[in-house]
Amino acid sequence: MAATKWVVRVVLDKEQSDKWGDLIGHLDFMLYVVLHRDDSTGICFDILPPANADSQKWSAEMAEYLGRHGVNAVYAPAYPKGEAYNHE
């Protein structure tokens, strides 16, 4: 069984997504984030850890850091490869 990969899952509301949406789109293009939802209510995306990092430790530390700066972020298991996020 493969080890669980961890990510930082971020949800931005409409106001935040209006401010940061373009940057998130560029990061998605560069494969630093995985965009799950971008609609009229906000954005949900995962920030991927560096390749050689302990993904759980890195994600927990980054989620805590972002949370201290007012970002709705948690560390969470990554979705299995090929499995899409279903926010319906």
pLDDT of amino acid 81: 56
pLDDT of amino acid 7: 94
In a domain, 85, yes or no: no
pLDDT of amino acid 2: 61
* Residue 41 amino acid letter: T
pLDDT of amino acid 87: 44
* Enclosing domain of residue 31: 6-77
SS3 annotation, the chain: CCCCCEEEEEEEEHHHHHHHHHHHHHHHHCCCEEEEEEECCEEEEEECCCCCCCHHHHHHHHHHHHHHCCCEEEEEECCCCCCCCCCC
pLDDT of amino acid 83: 53
Q: What is the mean pLDDT of each run of 10 residues along the chain (88 residues)?
A: 82 87 82 82 89 94 93 88 49
Instruction: Tell me how many domains the chain contains.
Output: 1
pLDDT of amino acid 88: 42
Report the predicted TM-score, pTM, of the whole model to 2 decimal places. Answer: 0.81
d(CA 51, CA 38) in angstroms, rounded, equals: 26
In a domain, 84, yes or no: no
In a domain, 82, yes or no: no
In a domain, 29, yes or no: yes
